[in-house]
Every structure is written in structure tokens, then in C-alpha cells.
Amino acid sequence: MRFEVLILGSSSATPIYGRHPTAQLINVNEQLYLVDCGEGTQVQLIKYGIKSNRIKHIFISHLHGDHYLGLIGLLSSMHLVGRKEEVHVYGPAALEEIINIHFLHSQTVLRYPLYVHATQDESAEMIFENEHLQVSSFPLDHRIVCTGFRFDEKKRLPTIDRAKTEALGVPTAYLPLIKRGHDYTAPDGTVHRWQNLTLDPPVPRSYAYCSDTVMTPSYLPYIRKVDLLYHEATFLHNMLDRARDTYHTTALQAGEIAVEVQAKKLLIGHYSARYKDLKPLLEESKTVFEATQLALEGSWYSV
């Protein structure tokens, strides 16, 4: 099952050097989820060949412009191309007011149902789930109300061990029952335990997204042992004071967090406009956590 992240924007607030404000597309089993939506996201989607009408759920971490100013334009374009399917937006409570005031003054009545769900930053909360996936928000520590998001694959049913079921001549109709934990009784009365007829399913994978935050222990419990951790790394560690003042993180801290929470891989982004060359950020994080990668626009990262 596919579980990948496409970087649409990797810049912090000031877009420069061809880098755009934050946005990511998550593909889970060919369902597309958008996480944050900085100005220009709809153009980035076009650039990377993604049909925005395939996106049904949009998660906004906080209301700094570089994380959501592309949302109204994207929702408008979905309307203009005749979308009928509903869209769900998850974000801080005031987001609904901002969306409404725009469509009020532009006198737009959307042709599709739009549901805006308020997130909160008091505690972690499951905000979306379907057959394959569960998405939770959790509090970060930024200058304004801000949440991260964690995408967890659901545990899948075991896989049928075809070699065994075929050898035993198990009728196909029984297979879904066996997957769900029913034993199989053969015509001769022998009971075959379902555990012996199945293989373990793949271990569920998880992705955590920490958009903008100062480094604190408070949110680490929510991102423990994820397969891929995206963490902002706005500054190099020689700017730690500035990072703290602006509620941001350094590349070294991002690496330390990945170590602390036992993430398998780390993706850093949200680069300050002062860094044209990103290699020093990567190298700094790698000094403590080798499996670090730079979030680069247009690149897909496997979870």
C-alpha cells in the first residue's frame, strides 16, 4: 500500500530561491491528503501533475499566512472547475470565519459541500479515520495556536498463506473468514487454526508532521516511534536564541527530537530565507541523526 509524502512548499514565511511556503501532499493508498496550504499551493499542485480534485481532506496546522494563504484560492478553483464532491478542512476554529468572509465578499456559493472542522491545541485528538488510515492532531508550541498531525495506517488483516490453503483445498469463500480470525474445519473434521493459515500483515506505518514549533518535551509523546517524522528546522543551531524567540526549531534540535522519539527517518524543512544553500542544515541534523533528509519541493518521500 502506497504511503508517501510529496513536498509542495519547503520555505518559511518569506518565499525565496524558488522555494514556496509550506504545503505537503500525503498519498495513502491513492487517497490524497493535503497538509498545510501556503500561498501558491494550487500552482505547485499543477506543476507536479496532481489533480486537486483528488484531494478531499485538508489539514491546516495554524493561521500564520505561510501555512494557509493558498487555501481560499484552492477552494475557489475547485468550485470553478465544477467540483461536486465534498471537501473537509481541519484547522483552528477561526479558519471557518476567514473562509466565510472571503466567500461572502466574493459572493461565491460553492457548488460542493465544504465542511470546516475546528481543531484544538489542548490535547491530542483523532480527527479523521477511514478503512486504512487514522489522522490525529496534537498540540505544538508556537506563537499562536498550532497543531501537528499524525497519520497512522490502521492495522491490516493478516494475509492468507496461499500455499497452505491451496494444499488443504480450503474453498475460496472461507478465506475472508479466516483472515478475520475464524478457524477452518476441514471436511474430515480436522480443525486448522487461522493463525496457521495466515501470514502477519505488514506492520502499520506512521507519519508525523510538526509544522512550526519551539522544541519542548510536551509534544514528543505524540510523535513516538513514527516511521517518518517531518519536523521544521528553520534555523541552524548558531541561531538558537532567534529560534526560541520566534518559536521555531534548529536543525540540530530536529535531529535530537528524532533520536529522542526513536523515529526511523527524519525530514526537515521550513527553511529560513537566509539559507540559500541547505546542506549545512542537513549536515547539522545528521551529526545526531543520520537518517535525515532535506524536504525538497517536487520530491516524494516514502513513509
Q: Which residues contact a second copy by CB under 8 A?
A: 13-16, 20-21, 39-40, 42-43, 46, 63-66, 69-70, 72-73, 76-77, 80-81, 92, 94, 97-98, 101-102, 105-107, 143-144
Nearer to a second copy, 52 or 206 (CB): 52
66 is catalytic: yes
**123's grid cell:** 490535547
| Cβ–Cβ under 8 Å, residues 211 and 248 | no
Write down the least CB distance from residue 214 to a second copy, Å.
15
Phi/psi for 252 (5° steps) reads -65, -45
Grid-cell match 508556537, residue found: 142
Q: Residue type at 239?
A: M
Nearer to a second copy, 20 or 265 (CB): 20
Task: Report whether 66 belongs to an annotated binding site.
Answer: yes
Write down the least CB distance from residue 62 to a second copy, Å.
8
| Cβ–Cβ under 8 Å, residues 89 and 60 | yes
Torsion-angle region of 162 (φ positive above 0: left; ψ -120 to 50: alpha; else: beta): alpha
Task: Report whether 212 belongs to an annotated binding site.
Answer: yes
Catalytic hit among 66, 121, 152, 227: 66
* CA 257 to each of CA 2, 31, 230, 250: distance values in angstroms, whole numbers, following the listed order: 26, 29, 11, 11
Rounded Cα–Cα distance for residues 217 and 215 (Å): 7
Write down the least CB distance from residue 126 to a second copy, Å.
25
Task: Report whether 62 belongs to an annotated binding site.
Answer: yes
Residues in binding site: 62, 64, 66-67, 142, 212, 270
Residues in binding site for Zn(2+): 62, 64, 66-67, 142, 212, 270
- Indicate which residues carry an active-site annotation: 66
